Amino acid sequence: MEVSGYPHYENVCSNILKFFFDPTAEHGLHDLLLVAFMRMAGVTEIPNIENVRVGSQQATERGNFIDLVVDSESFTIGIENKIFHWLANDLEDYGAHIDRLAVSRPIVIKAVLGLHLIPPTETLKGGFVSYSYEQFWHQVRELLGYYIAAADPKWVSYLLDLITTTENLAGRNMELQKNDQFFIDHHDLLEKMLTERTTFISRLNSKVSALCGLMGESEIAATLSRPPWVYAGSCVVLGFHISPDYSIAYDLYLRPTGWELQLFGRNGKSKHYLLSLIGKPALRERTRDVAIVGGRHIVQTWPINTDLGELKDALCSWMESLSAASNSTVA
């Protein structure tokens, strides 16, 4: 990237970020950058990241252009990307555009993302806040280990190149650490391991697809808002629209460590309603001691080699418990 001169063009850098911010893109890192960006911005409860729309150079009513806008039903993020240019943008116009787009969104982030933080003496208009790439990449590195297994090694390499390039542009010198030298010394072996890992993850994802098909054949699937579907290759989604206001779902993830079933509400109202359901006899005992991570109830786990028929029966049982709790609430 440094040889090509690309980092000197903010729109090119924004286009690269657009690609990595898209959870459905071929990089396989899913929502890594979105979650990292929200954590950097101080979001403590990460929302459900679904139906994400990512656009660059989005026009405002005044004819200005915002570098990057990421939008979904639960959040809106507007980013003004600054590499070398002075900040002379109409942030009030940008902020108003983001506010119009983000009506009813529980999370709204307006960010000026640059090589360096803007000094506190300079007041940013339109509700924008200054963040540095160093802050952003710190969060990405913290989370990368959870995503890298399912990612395409090629795109992981490109992301690391982007990280290194922005760090060098910011004046940070590269100092080899112990882990860095290990990667250099064992580069060929690690490349082979990553290839084998990708094949392994592909086999796991085929089990997810097979289980999704089995769930679609079950009688209780008729109670779902839509047929069972697979998210990001590794998750079976079972969603219930109990009423126009309440949307509850089970997500069954398959990771190298095993299967994990999560129960959650898709919005604020649904989360509060789910707490009332969990208090009903049909769910009370089953969820008494479960862990809650990021607002999601981790209701059950299984070893990676669990029979798919056994998983199907367990999922149907959990779905029946949720339906029973919901029906008792209505009654």
pLDDT tens digits for range 156-199: 888 998 888 888 877 654 455 566 677 777 888 888 887 888 88
**Residue given tokens 């898209």 in the structure block:** 22
Q: How crowded is the C-beta side of 76, counted as CA atoms within 13 Å?
A: 19
Q: Answer for the pair 41, 131: CB distance below 8 angstroms, yes or no.
A: yes
Look over the chain and give the mean of its residue pLDDT values, rounded to a whole number.
87
CA 13 from chain center: how many Å? 20
- Is pTM, for the whole model, over 0.85? no
| Per-range mean pLDDT, top range of 11-25, 70-84, 128-142, 156-170 | 128-142
DSSP 3-state of 313: helix
Count the helices and strands in the chain (H runs, E runs): 10, 11
pLDDT at 277 over 90: yes
The most confident of the ranges 9-18, 128-137, 309-318 is 309-318
Which of 44-48, 69-73, 127-131, 327-331 has the weakest average pLDDT? 327-331
**How far is the C-alpha of 165 from the C-alpha of 2, rounded, in Å?**
6
Q: Is the predicted pLDDT of residue 14 greater than 90, yes or no?
A: no
**Listed residue (152, 153, 174) closest to 163, CA to CA:** 174
- CATH of region 6-172, choose from 1.10.3470, 3.40.50, 1.10.760, 3.40.1350: 3.40.1350
In sequence order, the 6+-apart residues with CB closer than 8 A to the CB of 51 are 72, 73
Q: Does the structure show a pLDDT above 50 at 93?
A: yes
pLDDT at position 303 over 90: yes
Residue 42 tokens read as 């101080």
Of the pLDDT bands very low, low, confident and very high (cuts 50, 70, 90), residue 7 is very low
